[in-house]
A and B are shown apart, each in its own frame.
Chain A
């Protein structure tokens, strides 16, 4: 999960040189959810568990619990809307709403 508190950022002597990020999977720590203009709203009642949204989400932001779609990781979802567009037309379990900031 993304860290919420404002940390002191490292000075130039404390950072690896060359802009290298030596830590794998560190995107988890970066809250890209703040970039969102439109927010996907998932409806558990309508969802048929086809996993199309989970397959297509470029930010791995479709949460799965016990093998089932369980919601959206709003810390990392950038609001691209791919999930909404791949959700089958007859299902429409995901709607995009204007983000309230």
Chain B
């Protein structure tokens, strides 16, 4: 198998993966910071490098609707968006998932209005967390590329058949250049395989109806099936990752721990911040402080068992949320980590809401979190359950 190293931005890496996947249909609408991803991809189409049918629509609502139609027709479909774009797609996202359409969508995470902002936070993806979409989260450019390739296999697995979002931090990763390893076109093509639809609207010999009216007598059963697809994904995602490792060498799981197995305190985080936390952990370890990190690669489905077994030995846990659930009890990741630990442990867990609207987070901020966590581990006392990290008082 041949590989090469390319210097790519996150968006270029996403477009490169899309080029290699060569989807049948892409319907998309530009939005910062997703724009350069679609520009790059549209260039591949315009240059005739690939034969994707590119549909330029007038809004994200139409983009996702066109994707739903194309996927029902039996096509392999990709779109991409950010922030307000995802918010505008919202109702159609639920439809894509409930029709069990294996659409793949990079979501270049950006704060939701208002006030209007173009920089990174996770409020867009968190707003769609209950839509039935699988959510993969990338820490860096390499992971965007690798997650895109795996996303196709996960979405199209016969036990799953759910759409997949590939999340990555707007600007921080989407527009930063990294050297990444890319694989040969034919190896990617072989790994993702032929697209096989369960049904296709274009098969006039076997006509089917999508979007049936589903009342009190059937809707509940269809929702139950959808829940099962999401549960199956907990098993399928590591299975796909294992095959990916066998072919391409890089290892992936539902989660990724760093210096976690012997840690006393740990931070749980999503996305690019995991890299900053890793750097902070190295500095603390040099001072013999037993700090670790658990990076959540898969937020939907929420891998409860795996999270529990990764965290149960700790003395204190701090969860970083780059979105506020505005529920008066903490961020979305925090609430689910707490729910996971409930009844199974009495480890104190605290929450730090950080980086809203792209506010930078540095090693000093992370050190502050670890020193709070060490204090909690020592005393068992929580002073502040939810802290807004880096906000001006």
Interface residues of A (CB under 8 A from B): 9-12, 15, 17-22, 24
Contact = CB atoms under 8 A, between A and B. Distances in A.
Given A9-B217, A10-B221, A11-B221, A19 B199 contact: no
Interface of B: 98-101, 161, 198-199, 206-212, 214, 217-218, 220-222, 224-226, 228-229
Contacts of B229: 17
Contacts, number: 53
B208 A21 contact: yes
26 contacts: A9-B217, A10-B221, A12-B221, A12-B224, A12-B225, A15-B218, A15-B222, A17-B222, A17-B226, A17-B229, A18-B99, A18-B100, A18-B161, A18-B210, A18-B222, A19-B98, A19-B99, A19-B214, A19-B222, A20-B99, A20-B199, A20-B208, A20-B210, A20-B212, A22-B199, A24-B208
A17 B223 CA distance: 9
DSSP majority for the B interface?
Answer: loop
B248 to A, nearest CB: 30
A86 to B, nearest CB: 26
B367 to A, nearest CB: 48
Contacts of B226: 17
A3 B226 CA distance: 29
A71 B15 CA distance: 62
Nearest to B95: A19
Nearest to A25: B207
A19 B207 contact: no
Contacts of A19: 98-99, 210-212, 214, 218, 222
A17 B210 contact: no
